[in-house]
Copies of this chain bind each other. A is one copy, B any other.
Amino acid sequence: MIKVGIIGSTGYAGNELVRLLLQHPETEIIWYGSRSYTGEPYASVYGNFFRIVDAECLDDDLDKLAEEADVIFTATPQGYCASAVSEKILSGTKVIDLSADFRIPDVAVYEAWYGITHKSPEFLPEAVYGLCELYRDQVRTARLVANPGCYPTCSILAVYPFLKAGLIDPKSIIIDAKSGTSGAGRSAKTANLFCEVNENIKAYGVTTHRHTPEIEGVLSRAAGVDAAVTFTPHLVPMQRGILVTAYASLTKEVSEEELRKVLLQCYENEYFVRVLPEGICPETRNVEGSNFTDLNFRIDKRTNRVIMMGAIDNLVKGAAGQAVQNMNLMCGLPEQTGLRQIPMLP
């Protein structure tokens, strides 16, 4: 059994990690870390785990945890992992960081968008961006994986194939994304109260959202072009799910069939990416609770644009599920181990 520890286990992503790892045949959770609930029974924070988890929450002593765990997940605020990780920890343990600390290779870009100083830039070169569909081989041998952001996961998977194939203008990409409210976390903020979120939709972080450089950077590097992205996230009155609607100008006249071929080929061996039949739009409910990414596209002939659409569960493929997918690769397990949950509907 792989011994795993979770720092930040009482946030929504941490809670989802617990759910997935408890149902994973090869893992044992030995550390339910939570700064806010240290000493309290985990099941008193999340009642769904009553009589399933008996453990109490522990503090976030990464060094101590590293002595006991084979794999550590940090589902923590920006800056924590960069400040706590060390050569000693990495030499004995695998670390999968769900925060943004190691997603952006250029320290200056990270510090500009996140407004904090990076405490361990020395590990940036070795950190692998854990979007398995693009970086599977590098993940397998990584000590430190930067688990992708929720919006970037869905955005990159939707746009990458066409960008890589040279079919869309890399400067024309517009990503309009919509997220359920669990993406906003579990902190007690007025803006996230039921009565503030329900029966409402709004954009936020317009032109300034921190996932912008992550999306742009990964797309550029993976496709080998210099992409520029306008990215606008929205808050939707639902709990889980991200829908991405991305727009780009086609570089030439192509048919739906040609584009479909490109998309299908790109993901033909990917269990977790489902290219939907022509005319079927991705819906977040169809991936809820699962690690799937549903994709499709449509050509707007009148304007020669392509509309690329993707749907994920932000807590699974957008966070905890992808982290487990990375763990499986890093530990030499079949990639789908413990991740074949069927989406739950309604």
Contacts and interface: CB of A to CB of B under 8 A. Distances in A.
B305 A346 contact: no
A309 interface: yes
Interface string A113-142: 000000000000000000000000000000
A342 to B, nearest CB: 5
A343 interface: yes
Interface in A222-256: 228-230, 232, 234, 236-241, 243, 245, 247
B200 A193 contact: no
Nearest to A205: B281
A193 B194 contact: yes
Given A206-B298, A345-B15, A197 B194 contact: yes
Interface in A1-48: 12, 15, 19, 22-23, 46-48
Nearest to A183: B195
Given A245-B232, A247-B247, A343-B48, A206 B281 contact: yes
A302 B19 contact: no
A181 B199 CA distance: 11
A243 B201 CA distance: 7
A286 interface: yes
A117 B161 CA distance: 42
Interface in A275-330: 276, 280-290, 294, 298-303, 305, 307, 309, 311
B178 A281 contact: no
A202 B240 CA distance: 13
Interface string A49-66: 111100000000000000
11 contacts: A47-B283, A181-B193, A188-B190, A198-B198, A198-B237, A202-B284, A203-B282, A207-B298, A237-B237, A240-B346, A289-B344
Given A12-B195, A182-B346, 11 more contacts: A48-B286, A174-B247, A178-B178, A181-B195, A186-B193, A188-B193, A199-B199, A201-B284, A207-B300, A236-B237, A247-B247
